[in-house]
Structure 1
Amino acid sequence: MAGSDCPGCGSWSRRIHSSYLRFPADVPSGGRRVVLCLRGRRFLCPVNSCGRRTFAERMSGLTRRYGRRTERLRSTLAAVGLALAGRAGGPVGKSLRLVRQPQHGAAARRSLARPGSSRPARRRCR
C-alpha cells in the first residue's frame, strides 16, 4: 500500500483521509488540447503532536504546489517567451495552442527563477 511523508514532522503515513481531482493543462499533442485527470490523496498524520492533521501527497516532477499547469507546459511556455523576447511569445504561444490568452507567455517568463537564486523573478515597476 502506498503512502506519503508528512511535510510537518516527516513521519510516514498510509492512512488516507480523502482524495480530490486536479486537471492541470499540458502541452498539446497533434494540435489538440490534452486534458490530464490526476487523483490526489490527502493523508492523516500519525503523530498527534504534529501541527498538521492532514496533508496532500506531492506530485513532484509533474506539477507544482497549487499549479494549474504541468512542468512540461511551464518550461515550454518559458522557452517560447525567452526565445521571442517576451511580449511576442504570447501570440505565438496562443497560435501553437499552448495558452488561451497571450499574456500567459509573459507570465511564464516572469515565473522563471533568476540564475543562482531559488526565488522566482519579480516583476519590476517602471
Structure 2
Amino acid sequence: MKYLLLIYGNEEKWASIPEEILEEGRAKQDAWNKRYQGTGELLGAYGLGGESEASLVRTKDGTPFTTDGPYLEAKEFVCSLYLLDVASVERAREIAAEMPWAADTGVEVWPVLHDAFGAGPDGGA
C-alpha cells in the first residue's frame, strides 16, 4: 500500500532557524531518506519551493489563467512530500515518526487510493 507523507512549512519559521541547525536537520533527513530508500519503502522524496515560487492555474470557460502562488488561509503550506510503499498504515506511521522533522512540524500520513500508472491500493492492477 502506498502512503503520502506531507510536511508543512512556514517561511517565517524556517527563516528563524539558525543555519547550523538547518544543516544538521538536513543531514538527519538525508540519512532518513537513504535508510528507507535502501529498504525499498521510500519511493520518492521531494522538497517544494516556497509559496512565493508557486502558481495557481485555473480555467474559466475553457481559457486557462495563472495567478502568483496559492491563496493561503494559513501561514503554513506543504513544503515536502514523500511517497512510501509499505505493508500497512502502522508501518507508514512508524516511518513517519522517525522522520527528523516530525517533532517540529508533524507529518501527515495519507493513503494513496489510486495509482494512475500502476497498482491500486491493494497492490493489484
Higher relative contact order (CA 8 A, sep 6+): 2
Whichever of the two has the greater Rg, that structure is: 1
Larger strand percent: 2
